[in-house]
Amino acid sequence: MNILVSRNYEILVHTTDQDWWMDIGSPRDYLKANIKKFIEEYGNRVICNSEVGEKVVVKPPSMILEEVEVERDTVIGPNTFIMKNVRIGSNTIIENSILLEGSIIGRSSVLRNVIIGEYVKIGDK
């Protein structure tokens, strides 16, 4: 930092009164922050606000919000967060991932360590 100051770079500081903060400058950090905060708030468990198909396994910690459809023979988690209105095809594996609202994941997909944006469609042409 001293080198930056000596070269006349402006140094900015942000203070917060929040008791929790984490740099999320990369997708990996964003995922880590979500996992850490979820475990702090809810522990190592599953929160599922939607009905899932037969033979669906949801491993903790994971969260599935409202209006999500998960077809049979699918494994979700651990460390997976699925937002509203997501559709997941059968025989799919999703681990260490975040699926944002409205995403559609086709059958027999494998997603690991990813963040899927809103209204993205993967698989099933």
Percent of the chain with pLDDT over 90: 56
Catalogue the E-assigned strands of the chain: 46-48, 57-58, 62-64, 69-70, 75-76, 80-82, 87-88, 93-95, 97-99, 104-105, 110-112, 115-116, 121-122
Tens digits of per-residue pLDDT, 43-73? Answer: 888 999 998 888 999 999 999 999 999 999 9
Tens digits of per-residue pLDDT, 15-45? Answer: 777 777 777 788 888 888 888 888 888 888 8
User: In 3D, which of 48, 50, 26, 24 has the Cα closest to residue 36?
Assistant: 24
Tens digits of per-residue pLDDT, 88-110? Answer: 999 999 999 999 999 999 999 99
What is residue 120's predicted lDDT score, i.e. its pLDDT? 97
pTM above 0.95, yes or no: no
What is the pLDDT of the chain when averaged over all its residues? 89
Three-state SS for 64?
strand
What is residue 8's predicted lDDT score, i.e. its pLDDT? 86
Domains of the chain, first to last:
27-122 (2.160.10.10)
